[in-house]
Amino acid sequence: MSTSTTYSFALPSPAQVMEYASKVGWRHIGSNAHSALFRLDENGPARQLIVPLSADLIDYPKAMRSAVACLAEVEGIPAFIAAIGIQSEGVDQVGIRCETDEPGIAYIADATALFNAARGLILSSASAAVDPRPMFGQSRPEQAEKYLNDVRVRVIHGSFVVSMACPLKPSLEADTLSVGVPYGRQVTNRLLDGVEAVLDLVKDSTHLEEGGAWAELVQHGVSAELVDALAVLAPREGDRARQVEVEFSPSLRDPRHAKHSIEVPPGFHNLLQDGARLLRRLGSAIPSRLVGEVVGLERRRNLRGAVTGKIAGRLHISGTRPRVATVRIDAPDGSEELLIEAYRARRAVEVHGSVSQRGRNYLMASVDSINLTEEHDPSLQDALFDAEEEFETLFLSTSDDTEGEV
């Protein structure tokens, strides 16, 4: 006995179907009391669409389902997805695909990962569409939370696909974003641009040790939460690749392309986790100033000419009292010779950057400038040596790969 799966969906109104058909290229030929006839001459042989108008006829539900199925077939999407789009002034489709041996069936761990990744990608992108940040934490924009509640999700066959219908115009009180671009479209744009930017970066691992490379992605909608979602989605080494698919609603055409499919290959899980950690540190960074002496230098492995310095000095964190600390920094490009000179001549340096707190320790997330200074604290070295075991250690970046003293 053969079986087939048919998804039920709420029927749109005739007016909604007719408006949608007109937006996506169908031409209205004519109408009578019971039906409206449309014709489509694009994409091959001409097609016709019959939209029932009389809801009191006994076969109206069947006829309306046929009309929706006709629109869905042309667009290459399931009928229930087309019905959602027709009734919600257009939706962008975001799919998270996992290749499985049996269509529609996945191990619970894989299915859970797909659902968690789907939620994380939508929520982080909705947040970035309002206010791009390295990290949102508990201060996500209220607009993003409301938008997430308007997203509908369904599992469809095609291996195992978590398909999300993302409305272009959610029912929010105000659209605070770009004029003429619905908030929902900005969400899917942020998701698409952010995922592509992150995967491009991790595939080019030569820049992963540079904190600035991750910071530059924030403008593309990348946040710690988006990278966390990709880390959840990323398959382990030896597993099959997964896909993030975006299909823009034909009711609001995108100049790039209607459909996008981005492969998330195996082997990047750990790199993505590292990137998310760095973005969290960037997101909680506090402007700071450090004055002290360079007490050690090391060459950084795999980065030709790059230098890591250890600076013993007094750290001034905005809003707090100065403290004595040993700071480990990766010298920005062009400042390596200055650090070497300061180390050899025992000259004091002044460093401006940002730190974030991690328990009793701190992370200096970025360096804005390093300069030689005449500022000097005679008591500083004695204090450092007397309390060496109690010093807080600060790191400029996640790079711990060093080899050999300068």
Average pLDDT of the segment spanning 366-375? 83
* Domain C-terminal end among 237, 261, 282: 282
What pLDDT, on the 0 to 100 scale, is given for residue 205?
A: 66
Reported as a single tens digit per residue, the pLDDT across 172-191 is 433 444 446 788 889 999 99
164 and 277 in a single domain? The answer is: yes
The whole-number pLDDT of residue 361 equals 55
Q: Which two tokens stand for residue 393?
A: 């250690």
159-179 burial, b for 16+ CB within 10 Å, e for fewer?
bbbbbbbbbbbbeeeeeeeee
Across all residues in the chain, what is the average pLDDT?
A: 78
Diameter over CA atoms, the chain = 96
Mean pLDDT across 15-28: 88
Last residue of a domain, one of 267, 282, 297: 282
d(CA 241, CA 193): 19
Q: Are residues 300 and 214 in the same domain?
A: no
CB 114 within 8 A of CB 162: yes
Kindly state whether residues 273 and 330 are assigned to the same domain: no
3, part of any domain: no
The predicted-structure confidence for 206-245, as pLDDT tens digits, reads as follows 555 555 678 888 888 999 999 999 999 999 888 889 999 9
In a domain, 118, yes or no: yes
Are the CB atoms for 71 and 19 separated by under 8 Å?
no
Q: Which domain holds residue 350?
A: 286-405
Q: Is 22 in the same domain as 122? A: no
pLDDT given at position 134: 87
| In a domain? residue 2 | no
pLDDT confidence band for 59 (50 / 70 / 90): very high
pLDDT per residue as tens digits for the range 137-173: 877 888 999 999 888 888 876 678 888 888 886 544 3
Residue 99 lies in a domain: yes
- Can you give the pTM of this predicted structure? 0.59
Number of separate domains in the chain: 3
- pLDDT for position 386: 41
Give the pLDDT confidence score for residue 306 in this predicted structure. 60
98-111 pLDDT, tens digit per residue, is 888 777 788 888 88
Question: Can you give the pLDDT at residue 277?
Answer: 87
Is 155 among the domain residues? yes
| Residue 310 within a domain | yes
Residues 187 and 164 in one domain: yes
Which range among 26-35, 49-58, 135-144 shows the weakest confidence by mean pLDDT?
A: 135-144
150 and 266 within one domain: yes
Query: CATH number, domain at 384?
Result: 2.40.50
Do residue 259 and residue 123 come from a single domain?
A: yes
Distance CA 290, CA 286 (A): 13
Q: Is residue 370 part of a domain?
A: yes
DSSP collapsed to 3 states, 45-63: CCEEEEEECCCCCCCHHHH
Report yes or no: 229 and 81 within 8 Å, Cβ to Cβ.
no
Cα angle value 300/305/309 (rounded, 5°): 50
On the question of pLDDT at 358 being above 60, the answer is: no
Give, to the nearest 10 degrees, the angle between helix 183-203 and helix 224-233.
70
Could you read off the pLDDT of 291-317 as tens digits, one per residue?
888 888 876 544 445 667 778 778 887
- Same domain for 309 and 213: no
Among 254, 282, 310, residue at a domain's last position: 282
| One domain, residues 101 and 187 | yes
**What CA–CA distance (Å, rounded) separates 116 from 276?**
16
In this structure, the answer to whether residues 316 and 174 fall within a common structural domain is no
- What is the mean pLDDT of the segment spanning 117-143? 90
Residue 151 in any domain: the answer is: yes
Q: Tell me the average pLDDT across 262-273.
A: 91
